[in-house]
Structures are given as C-alpha cells and as structure tokens.
Amino acid sequence: MELTNLCIDYINEAGQTISNEELSYPLRFQKVFEQAVLSADYASDIFLNDLKRSCRHLYEKKMQSRKEQLTTIHTFYKNGMNAEVFNQLNLSILIIQDETVLGKLVNTSFLVEEELSLKQALFDY
C-alpha cells in the first residue's frame, strides 16, 4: 500500500513538473524519462497484477493515476511538436516505445545476458 501511494504521489509531482510550461523542454523531457524509468522498475506487470488481486481500490487508484500520467506526457509531446522542439511522430508509438524498451532495460536477466550495467544501458538508450 505504501509503495503504491508513493508511486502515485511521485507521478502527480512529476506531472506538475512536466506540465509547467515555464520550465524548459529539456528539463521537462528529463522528468518524462525519469518517470518512465521508475514506472518500468516499480510498476511491473507482476506488481500490478498482485495489486489488482489483493487491493482492488489501490489498483484502481493507480490505474487512474496512470491514465492522468499518459495524458500529461501526451500533451507535453504534442505541445513540443507544435513548438517544433520535437519531430512530428505518432505520440502513442513514441510513448509505448519508451515503455517497452525501458521495461526490458530494467530486466536484470536481460542486462546480465547482454553484459550491461543498468547505468550503461540507460545511457546508451
């Protein structure tokens, strides 16, 4: 329960930073990336399935937070594309690409198999 609440609080805090148009795009992009890495590490499918079975109300709260997170990121990228800071790309593909790659990069067995440290894998990505 505590971990779930910490994740939700972090997502809300990060969302405020990402939405703050007074901050530069590079700074807000770092927060998007940080949030994606932490989500990949702390909100795995195993964790979410366990949460869904054991604590339905927290699972629903987490999923609502996730929905808001995706909306915030989608808006950030869309505004960045309109401001010509980012290339015009399919937003859904862009977001799912990060989620998929980062999910794999935080997988310990993948890192061991590829002889990578997490730091190096993230840096390379």
Share of the chain above pLDDT 70, in %: 100
What per-residue confidence (pLDDT) applies to 103?
Answer: 85
Q: Report the candidate in 108, 107, 81, 111 with the shortest Cα–Cα distance to residue 93.
A: 81
CB-side neighbour CA atoms (13 Å) of 68: 17
pLDDT of residue 41: 77
Which residue ranges make up each domain of the chain? 2-89
Q: Does the pLDDT of residue 73 top 90, yes or no?
A: yes
pLDDT (tens digit, 9 = 90+) per residue, 14-69? 999 999 999 999 999 999 999 888 888 777 778 889 989 999 999 999 999 989 99
